[in-house]
Structures are given as C-alpha cells and as structure tokens.
Amino acid sequence: MANAADPIDDLYGVDPEEFVSARTALAKRLRADGDRKGADAVKKLAKPTRAAWAVNRLARDRPEEIRALVDAGEALAGAQEQLLDGADAGVLRGAAEAARRLVDALADEAPVEGPARDKVRATLHAATVDEDVRQDVAAGRVVRERSASGFGGLDALLASGFEARATPSRKGEGRKKQGAAKAEEPVETTVAPEPRKPDAREVRRRRDALRRAKEAEAKAEDAVTGAQRSLDQVESTIEARRRDLAEAQSALTEARDRRERAERAAAED
C-alpha cells in the first residue's frame, strides 16, 4: 500500500525506537539537498505509537489484505447510503462479516502482542467505518491507534433500515386511521378521477436511486469476494507458520534429548 520510493513512507515503516533518529537524518538530508521546507515538515512529523507502527507494517507486509479491507470499507459506506433506497441489506451484512473476519486475521499477523494487538484490531475496525482512518491505514501512515464502535454502528444501521422498510411511519399510520374513519361514514357517489400520471422528476429520482443501489450492491459483492480471497491467503499463511512452529518445537525436543543424553554420558566418564 505504501510507496517505498517515498522517504516519508520509509520513515513510517521503521521501528518506533528508531523513528526519531531516522526523522532527524531525513530532515538533515533534505536540508542538505536544499529542500528547507521539506526538512521543516519532516521535523514536525509525529512519532507513531507501537500499535500505529504495527498497522503501518501490515500496510507494507500485507498490501493485498489491506487493499481488500479498504475496498470493503468503501463498499460498506456506499451500501449504507443506498440501503434505504433499495440496496440489499443481506449483501451489506455479508460485506460487514467478511470485513470483520479480515480485520481479525490481519490483527493476528500484527508484529505486536497483548494490549497493543487489541489496539491494532480496533484501528483496523475503525478503518472499515471511518474514511479518514481508512486513508491513513491505506497509506501506511498511522500515527496513533484509532477506535470506533466496531461494527455495532453498522448493525444498528441495518436494523434501522429493516425497521424503516417494515414499519409504516406515524404519519402514514395517521392517514390510514383517517381513511378507516372516513370509510365508516356514508360515502357519496362521485365520478372517479382519472389516474394521475407519475411525475417525471420522481420517476427519474427513483430510477437513479435504483441504479445507485445496484452499483452499491455490486461493489459490496466484489468487496466480499476480495476480502474472502485475502482472508483465505492469510489463513493459509497462518496454517503454514503453525506447521513450521510444530516442526521447530519437535526439533527442539530432539535436540534437548540429545543434549541430556550427552550430559549423562559425560557424567559417567
């Protein structure tokens, strides 16, 4: 995701303990090259926290998975906007679930442990629902960990979308009650009015809404596919590393046995 040719991108990829010295060296180099303005800007760059650095490393070490996460977040944003205009909420829910699984898989690959890894997961979650965070994660220039309500806000949006479709508004209910009351009154026979022609602007608006909803659905489906593909790759890598760990542990056990036998033999001499 990050551009390795950009020295600032390189700067955000170094270990936090080395950031200050690397920043100073870069500022000096820019100043020596005559870029005083660039040097001053570099000197003002904030040092990333440990969790932020881990997210930046993921952007460099797992660019395909991060790209899939960014795509999923963009698709979710578009689908949320179009949900009440007819977008399929099932696709939105599927995209959210795929993004959640991808976040968890990426967090498991982060080069930190404990609370820092939890902060990485929270930042990746935030990237799926916050455009500003998404841009920082995509660029690999996160300075501090970020947080959001996870996918709770998205779930709430889905629930409200279903409620909006399934539950008539109070205004609509009032009209129905008025209609029922009028139905009980004697009705005078009148000539039925001619059917009113649909308003051309309303027709265009509805068609545009339908088109946008279909586009959002298609984009969300692509995001689900991409996220699932990337997730499969991450899970495959994790499984391979688990096998490597098992083999290493077996080799260590054998080495210890040989060492213990050698010690016993040396003691008998």
71 lies in the same domain as 16: no
b/e sequence 73-94, b meaning 16+ C-beta within 10 Å: bbbbbbbbebbeebbbbebbbb
Tell me, yes or no, whether 99 and 11 share the same domain. Answer: no
Tell whether 110 and 217 lie within a shared domain: yes
What Rg do the C-alpha atoms of the chain give, in angstroms? 29
Q: Which pair of tokens denotes residue 80?
A: 């949320």
Number of domains present in the structure of the chain: 2
Q: Range of 6's domain?
A: 1-47
194 domain-assigned = no
Same structural domain for residues 148 and 43? Answer: no
Together in a domain, 65 and 34 = no
71 and 128 assigned to the same domain: yes
Model pLDDT, residue 6: 82
* Contact yes or no for 58/68 (Cβ under 8 A): no
6 shares a domain with 129: no
Q: What is the pLDDT of residue 170?
A: 46
The reported pLDDT for the residue numbered 169 is 43
In a domain, 53, yes or no: no
What is the rounded CA–CA span in Å between residue 140 and residue 77?
21
What pLDDT does 101 receive?
86
Q: What is the pLDDT of residue 264?
A: 83
* Integer Cα distance of 153 and 200 in angstroms: 36
Phi, then psi, of 44 in degrees rounded to 5: -90, -5
Residue 256 domain flag? no
pLDDT for the residue 52: 95
Say if residue 18 is in the same domain as residue 81.
no
For the chain of 269 residues, list the mean pLDDT of each consecutive stretch of 10. 70 92 94 93 94 95 91 78 63 76 90 94 92 92 82 47 45 49 50 56 62 62 68 73 84 88 80
Which pLDDT belongs to residue 202? 61
Whether residue 224 sits in one domain with residue 119: yes
pTM of the model: 0.58
User: Which pLDDT score, from 0 to 100, does residue 250 have?
Assistant: 86
In a domain, 253, yes or no: no
Give residue 59's pLDDT. 94
Residue among 76, 135, 131, 132 at smallest CA distance from 100: 76
Per-residue 3-state assignment (H helix, E strand, C coil) for the chain:
CCCCCCHHHHHCCCCHHHHHHHHHHHHHHHHHCCCHHHHHHHHCCCCCCHHHHHHHHHHHHCHHHHHHHHHHHHHHHHHHHHHHHCCCHHHHHHHHHHHHHHHHHHHHCCCCCHHHHHHHHHHHHHHHHCHHHHHHHHHCCCCCCCCCCCCHHHHHHHHHHHHHHHCCCHHHHHHHHHHHHHHHCCCCCCCCCCCCCCCHHHHHHHHHHHHHHHHHHHHHHHHHHHHHHHHHHHHHHHHHHHHHHHHHHHHHHHHHHHHHHHHHHHHHC
